[in-house]
Every structure is written in structure tokens, then in C-alpha cells.
Structure 1
Amino acid sequence: MSTLKRILVPVEYSEKSEAAVLVAAAMSRRHKAVLRLLHVINPDTYSFSGSDKLVVSMSTEDVILSELSKLQRWADSLLQGQSVQCYVECRIGIVHDRILEKAQEVGADLIVMGSEERSGMRDYLLGSDTYRVLKEAPCPVLTVPGNTQATDFKQILFSLRPVEGALDSYEFARRIIQKNKAHVTILALFDNRQAETTTLLTQAIRQLDKRLKADSIKADMLVTETDSVSDTLLQKSADLQTSLIILMASPELSFTNFFKGAVARQVIRRARVPVLSMRPHQSVDRPILPIRGGIKSMQRIFSLVQAS
């Protein structure tokens, strides 16, 4: 059974960091989880020019102590009156490296980060710290926009995509669904031009329906054909006024170009609500047998699920 007992929150004293901490604190209370705040210090931040024009730097120990005191005051002010078990830590180095390092050390069950809203080819090619953490994190990553107000998730949009391991995300997500007593909408997305995606999605819908019933979770099911996953997902989220999007992020696929790793990035950068991203633990390289019938087959499966 998936548990949520250790939550890691990288912070940088920004609006999006505040939003991430408040969401993480609420989750910590619901799941009785330990909260760990991590601030990564740029090694050049404390360098300055002396009177002899030589570069003088504070010692590493002094830098960490200074920032640790600042982080503790910031956390105390932000979490005042909230009953959460919270620890703070500062490290020096490259942001995403230190975050991933800390996540491994403490066995984090979830990383909660402020989402980065950027654009332009340079950012697309190099990638943000948030996206680099998403690609390499040993656990799910929850990204939180800076304007997030709600700290609970009452309306959840669960994206079901035709990739191997698509249901890996459910085992973790169901704990969040149950703790929030949330209403869930399953959005099954497929491209009718790809027989492989139809096969995988058909199997996933059947399996997910069984699991939802076994867990006594009521959910609406929407099956949608699309050639733009991010656009469709974000539009449905807006239409349904969801408070959380759950997305399977799969940056490496060998059998189709339909669902690329860029999807997760586009959704995270454009979403107005938190996005919970997970990567599949299963290989996508196993041979699959396509079924015939395309969209008609998908409609039959959808009808069977609804009727059951």
C-alpha cells in the first residue's frame, strides 16, 4: 500500500514557495506526514568585492547558519498556528541536484514544489529545475502555482493515458483521493490514429474501473479523442473547476510520438491548479497486440464500463 509519510518542499522565499508550503502543510496534517523544507543556496550569493578588489567569500558554515536562521523564521511565520511536524535545512549547490539528493536521503514519498511559469526556446531546451526534478525524482512530484488558494483537493481530474504502467499512479493517488473525500473525474485520452494507444487505454479503463469499485471510490468517466493532450487536459480542468490534476509523466516512450515528455511540462507550466506528476515504474518496451475497430472499439469499452 502506498503511503505518504515524508514530504519534501524545496523553497526560495517566493510566492510560489509559500503556496507550495501551505499545500504541503495541509497534506501533512491529513496524512500525518513529516514536512521537510529545503533551501538550496547559490554558492555565488555570498561573494563580494573587498577593498583590495579581491573576491571575498563567507565560510560555508557561516553561509549555512545565516540562511538556516532566515529559513526557520520564514517557516515559523508562514506556518504559525498550524500543527505540523516540520524540519528545515539549507544546502549549497545546484538546485535540482541538492533536491534529488535530499529526496533520496530521507526517502521522500512526495516532493512539493512551486511551479515555474516560463516560456521561450531557451527554457524549453535547457529545462527548469522543477522539470529536471520531475524527470529524475524517486517519488511523485506535486507542482503548485503561486496563485493557489485552496489547500485541499475536492475536485480531482485523473488523466488516464495509453502508456504502459498508466495505473501505477492510481496506487498513490487513491490515498489523496480518499483523504480529501474528493470527487474524481477520469479523463481517458487517446489518439485514434494509433492502434497501440487504443489497446493500452482499453486495458487501463477496464483495470481502473475494477480498482475504483474495490476502493469504493465513485468517479465520472470521460473518454476523449485528442491530438493535443495538454490543451485537452487543461480545458477539461477549467471546465470542471478542478483543484488538482493527476498526470502520468512519461518522458521516454519507444512506440509512439503521441504522448511525449513535453506534455507534462506544458501542463505544469500552464495549469492554474496543482499538478501531481508521476512516472511509470513498468517498462514500455514490451510487445503489444493492436486491436481493430479504432474509435468504435473505444466507444464499446466506454459503454461497458458505464453499464457495469
Structure 2
Amino acid sequence: MESTLIKKITVPVDYSETSRNALALALEISRQHQASLHLLYVVEQYQCISISENGLIIDFSKESIKAAELKRLQKLANELIDGQTAYVVECRIANDLSTAVVEAALEHESDLIVMGTQVTSGFVSHFVGSVAYDVVKTAPCPVLTVPNHRAWTVFKKILFPVRPVATALEKYDLAKEMIRHNKAEMTVLGLYNEDTPQLSDALTEMLSKLEIQLKYDRIRASIELADTEEGAELVLFKSRQLDVDLIIITADESETSGSFFESPYTEQIINQSKVPVLSIRPAPVRVVQMQPIGAIPAFSVVA
């Protein structure tokens, strides 16, 4: 599998405690990978317009707004970022926050987006879409979402759910980097449904090859299997049971159907997880190969 190096990190900032937590984590990751930071503040169009007491609509100068926000953003960077970390600050004015984040990360050629997210209840998350999930759906790179109730700077236990879809293991390389930099241990959670035996067989083969690769890479890992119709709920439960610091998921909703694999899987985990979630969208159709040195069998995934 191709090496995934983190060289540029985009961090959307809104000065809330949640975004500060995300920035603190992004800063630690940037130190681990010697990556640069791209701090982004987005002003939505409606914030540039005000209605006075006499009913007049006042359209504030966009340039003056951007200048003020850049000054504010620079002040935050001066407070939190040490002199060893390269960074840039940017303010954009846009109609849609998630679109602006995705476009900025694309133009900046970012390898990772780190952003805060509001944890919601199961009921609310089905009806209130999060900006974080909207970013994940179209982002040009992996997205690390950080919940709003605490800060993280290290990952010691990582949960790695695997579903029987062709792209499930494209996230492995980045997971490996996270594990090595944090000296973490990983739990692989194989999710299957006994009503679809052909997918269960595919999962078994996939996990067998992954087990070989884990041993070759000398990663401390355990593998568990779970028969379930509610993949997201089980992942969230296991994250609490195992007291993990990070969940790494494949954000791929295009290949499967049925309640077990419908789109709420990714959305529900992002919106309800109480720990950071690294979401990795599959690459465009191509052949991905991971070929260890020596006699260990080659490991291939067709995206």
C-alpha cells in the first residue's frame, strides 16, 4: 500500500473550546510528522450583512472583515504555536462552511484536516447534519474529527473497524503511522452479518491477510469478530468498552446496501463518538498494493 505522509494539515478554527482542542491535537500531530499547519477561519456570507434600527441593510466591507479576522487568527497562532512549527493563517468568506473547508484543503494540498465536532445524541444525529460529516463526504484527504468535551494529544489505544467492503483496508497505512508515532496498540474489529455469508467469507480472508501484515510490521494488535446488524452502534460501544483514544474508519458508503451498511454508519460514528475519529475516504478506482519484503505474501485491495 502506498505510503501516506502527513506534510500539511488544515485546521478550521472558530475560537470555540472545541476548535481549540482540535488545534492542540493538530499541533501535536504536526510535531510528530514535521508537518506545517494551515489555520482557517471561515466567515459565512450572512455575517457580512447587518440590519440597522431604521431598516437599512449594511453590507460590511469583506476586505475589512478578512483583515480583522486574520489579525485575530494570527494572535491565536502566536499564543499556541511554537516557533518550530511552520504555519499559515487564512480567512475565507463563503456561502457554505463545509464547502469552504474542503476547497481550502484542496488548494492548500493538505494531507489531513483536523476539526472539532459537536457530539450529539442518537436521535438528534439522524436529523441534524454536522459540518464535520459534510466535510468528510467530500474532503480530498483524511479527516480527523475531535469531540467537544476534552483535549487529546496522544493516542494509546486505537480501534480499527473492518467491514467486508473492497476498500476497507485502504486506511491501514495511515493507521500504521498513527500507531508508530504514538507507540499505540490496536484492536481490529471485524464486522459481519451472518445473513450475508459471502461477505463474511470475504471478511475472513481480508482479516487473515491483515493479521500477516500486522505481524510483519510488528504492530501490537488483537482481532475480534462481531456479528451485528448495527455496525456503527457496535463500534461506538466497543470504543467505550475498550477505552480507546481513536477510531479509524473507512468513510465509504457507495458499495453496499441494507441497514448494516447504509450511510448512517459513518455519520453516526462521527457525530456520536466521544473520542476522535479518523475518517478515510477510498481513493478513486485503482489497484492498491502492499508488498512486504521477503516471503510474506503480497496484500492487495482493489478499490
Question: Which TM-score bucket, shorter chain as reference?
Answer: 0.7 to 0.9
Note the C-alpha offset of 1:281. Answer: 2.6
Q: Find the aligned partners of 2:285 and 2:197 in 1 and give their Cα distance.
A: 19
**Count, aligned residues:** 283
Give the 5 Å matches for 1:116-135. Answer: 116-118=118-120, 124=126, 127-135=129-137
2:206 aligned with 1:209: no
1:90 matched to 2:119: no
In structure 2, the residue matched to 1:29 is 31
Identity %: 37
Residues 84-111 of structure 1: per-residue CA shift (max 9 Å, x gap): 2222110001111111111111111111
Aligned mates of 2:176, 2:88 — CA distance in 1: 27
For residues 130 and 115 of structure 1, do their structure 2 counterparts lie closer, same or farther at Cα, with a shift above 3 Å needed? same
Question: Structure 1 residues 119 and 155, CA, compared in 2 at 3 Å: closer, same or farther?
Answer: closer
Q: How does 1:128-277 map to 2 (within 5 A)?
A: 128-254=130-256, 256-277=258-279
Contact 2:230 2:259 in 1 (8 A): no
- Partner secondary structure for residue 168 of structure 1: coil
Q: Matches of 1:184 and 1:172 in 2, distance apart?
A: 13
Instruction: Measure how far apart 1:67 and its partner are.
Output: 1.0
Q: Which runs of 5+ in 1 are unaligned?
A: 285-308
1:111 maps to what in 2? 113
Find the aligned partners of 1:81 and 1:5 in 2 and give their Cα distance: 17
**Contact 2:119/2:273 (CA < 8 Å) preserved in 1?**
no
- Is the contact made by 2:125 and 2:271 (CA closer than 8 Å) also made in structure 1? no
C-alpha change, 1:282 and 1:56, in structure 2 (3 Å) is closer
Measured at CA, do residues 213 and 128 of structure 1 come closer, stay the same or move farther in structure 2, by a change above 3 Å? same
Higher alpha-carbon deviation: 202-211 or 112-121: 112-121
**SS of match in other structure, 2:187:** strand
User: Is the Cα–Cα contact under 8 Å of residues 122 and 268 in structure 2 kept in the other structure?
Assistant: no
Q: CA-atom RMSD, angstroms?
A: 2.1
SS of match in other structure, 1:45: helix
Structure 2: gaps (5+ residues): 287-303
Q: Which structure shows the higher helix fraction?
A: 1
2:149, 2:256 → 1: CA distance?
A: 37
From the superposition, tell whether residues 119 and 238 of structure 1 become closer, same or farther in structure 2 (CA, over 3 Å).
closer
The alpha-carbon distance between structure 1 residues 280 and 55, as it changes in their structure 2 partners (threshold 3 A), is same
Preserved CA contact (<8 Å) 1:148 1:274: no
Pick closer, same or farther for the CA change 1:228–1:183 going to 2, 3 Å: same
- Give the aligned residue type for 1:117: V
Does structure 1 conserve the Cα–Cα contact (< 8 Å) formed by 2:122 and 2:272? no
One-letter amino acid of the counterpart of residue 197, structure 1: L
- Equivalent runs, 1:24-63 vs 2, <5 Å: 24-50=26-52, 53-63=55-65
Report the CA distance between 1:82 and its aligned residue. Answer: 7.0
Q: 1:146 to 1:83 in 2, by over 3 A?
A: farther
Aligned 8 A contact 2:125 2:268 in 1 = no
TM-score scaled to structure 2, two decimals? 0.87
1:165 and 1:282 in contact (8 A); partners too: no
| CA 225–121 in structure 1, closer or farther in 2 if over 3 Å, else same | closer
Q: 1:35 to 1:80 in 2, by over 3 A?
A: closer
**Change in CA separation of 1:42 and 1:212 when aligned onto 2, cut-off 3 Å:** same
